[in-house]
Amino acid sequence: MISIGRWRKRTKGCVPVKSFFRRMLNTDATILKGNQSNEVGTQSKPRNNETMAPVFSLLFSVCTLNSCSKNDNQIDGGGTEIPMDLKSDQLVAADNQFGLEMVKQVNAELEEGKNLMISPMSISLALAMAYNGAEGDTKTQMEEMLHKAGMSADQINQTYQGLVKALSSHDPKVQLSIANAIFYNQSFSIKPDFITTNQTYYNAEVEALNFSNTNATLNHVNGWVRSNTNNKIHSIIDKVSPYDVMYLINAIYFKGEWTYQFEKKNTKTRTFHTASDGDVQVPMMELGKTKFQFLNTEKFTALELPYGSGKFSMLIMLPNEKYTTDDVIAALNPTNLTHWLSQLHELETVVFLPKFEFTYENSLVDNLKALGMLDAFNAAKSDFSGISDQQDLYISEVKHKSYIKVDEEGTEAAAVTGITFDVTSVEPNSIFNVDHPFIFAIREKDTNALLFIGKVNNPLLDE
């Protein structure tokens, strides 16, 4: 039995596409570099009812249709395979490395006991659009931070174009939409090539607005956000500064039903052991014995819960005894993640998973600076001459917001990244009980692309 509330955890899920992960292991070492940890494949006894933070990882994953065992609650359906070439592997590996580095950054500054979730894909896509206008040291710093040194702008743009198109039509049982937009002040002189590139490769909606009409601009931009997140995220800008000249925005919306459905009649109030607030009573879902993909390492136990026809999945990472969610996050790097996913194996188990719903928001400026993107935020040093000939153009804000809801039916998640440009003037048992803090990430399994990653310290918190 797998209970996501206790330190004993077990996982179920679909068989991953291991050939993709093997290709990732052979990708450029500069992209996949990371600490080699002895926790890969190590068996350890899961923790008991200690108050520790579990790691719940929601990763959108892809699996073969015949790799998941059917039960009475399984959803039937099909899906397409996503072909991966070397450049696709390289780009996804780069984005995942950047995403894992970013989640470590935001986790380090997270208020104790709070939940978090970011979308590495949303952040990467927004920055990719900005990158198309960067030159000189600004461009170099961005490509190094994003681990895309060695890839040309055309290669990056073309690969993202193919990846987004494939993901959006990947599983007929899962709704995934990815949208981009550029809103700029009608008085701001913007280069046509910058607009054309982002329209062509990112399908960006482009509009010139009268920024001096601040209320109309706020309503229009935030209305786009609401429309492209199914009203789950209501805004990305709070005010229009006189110095604002352009907003680059990415929005991702996901909705997937569990392949193996939880029945509402089985949801009961149970204890969840938080890391900082003691024991709390939460609505805990229960799923009878079902075969999932599972992994037990020294630091955590993992279980994979598929959506729809199995192309996307939630990977739950629950810390074992003596370890916390922070310990698991510290161990996250592309090498470890790839190895862990390749070691998933089938286990029949009962699953206990708490219902939860929360929002998260954060400015990523300091985090991006810490990762090496410095000049873009400095009006005296920034070089965005690919966007405009205006010399003092720089990025003043990178705001990220996210939303997630997990219940008996499945998962609904959304994320928005807004970039503001300014000018100056052990052995498994049969229960997986998620009853303490955990980390979650949502991934697509053919590409291993990380769409969302976060941490739940308390399922009762709504932000």
How far is residue 317's CA from residue 329's CA, in Å, rounded to a whole number? 10
Residue-wise pLDDT for 28-37, tens only, equals 323 223 333 3
In this predicted structure, the answer to whether residue 18 has a pLDDT above a threshold of 60 is: no
Work out the mean pLDDT of the chain and round it to a whole number: 83
Residue-wise pLDDT for 368-418, tens only, equals 999 999 999 999 999 999 999 998 999 999 999 999 999 999 999 999 999
| pLDDT top residue among 25 and 41 | 41
In this predicted structure, the answer to whether residue 222 has a pLDDT above a threshold of 90 is: yes
In this predicted structure, the answer to whether residue 452 has a pLDDT above a threshold of 90 is: no
Point out the least confidently predicted range of 46-50, 219-223, 334-338: 46-50
Point out the least confidently predicted range of 202-211, 286-295, 448-457: 448-457
pLDDT of residue 442: 83
Mean pLDDT of 41-53: 37
Cβ atoms of residues 383 and 138 within 8 Å? yes
Q: What letter would DSSP give residue 212? A: T
Mean pLDDT of 134-145: 97
pLDDT of residue 3: 57
Percentage of residues of the chain with pLDDT beyond 70: 81
pLDDT of residue 205: 98
Confidence of residue 77 (pLDDT cuts 50, 70, 90): low
Cβ atoms of residues 304 and 340 within 8 Å? no
Backbone phi, psi, residue 356, to 5°: -155, 160
Q: Which helix (H) or strand (E) holds 450?
A: strand 449-456
Q: How far is CA 115 from the centre of its chain?
A: 14
Point out the least confidently predicted range of 38-42, 86-90, 414-418, 432-436: 38-42
Options 3.30.420.40, 3.40.50.720, 3.40.50.300, 3.30.497.10; CATH for 2-456 is 3.30.497.10
In this predicted structure, the answer to whether residue 64 has a pLDDT above a threshold of 60 is: no
Residue-wise pLDDT for 176-192, tens only, equals 999 999 999 999 999 99
Percentage of residues of the chain with pLDDT beyond 90: 66
Q: Which helix (H) or strand (E) holds 244?
A: strand 244-257
| pLDDT top residue among 448 and 220 | 220
pTM: 0.82
In this predicted structure, the answer to whether residue 60 has a pLDDT above a threshold of 70 is: no
CB-CB neighbours of 137 under 10 Å: 14
In this predicted structure, the answer to whether residue 45 has a pLDDT above a threshold of 50 is: no
pLDDT of residue 345: 94
Which amino acid, one-letter code, is at 384?
A: F
Point out the least confidently predicted range of 43-47, 100-104, 422-426: 43-47
Backbone phi, psi, residue 200, to 5°: -70, -50
pLDDT of residue 430: 63
Phi-psi label, residue 94: left if phi above 0, alpha if psi -120 to 50, beta otherwise: alpha
Burial of 136 (0-12, 13-18, 19+ CB in 10 A): middle
Dihedral angle sign, alpha carbons of residues 435, 438, 443, 446: negative
Residue-wise pLDDT for 296-316, tens only, equals 999 999 999 999 999 899 999
How far is residue 432's CA from residue 46's CA, in Å, rounded to a whole number? 10
Residue-wise pLDDT for 437-450, tens only, equals 888 888 777 777 87
How far is residue 174's CA from residue 411's CA, in Å, rounded to a whole number? 10
pLDDT of residue 1: 58
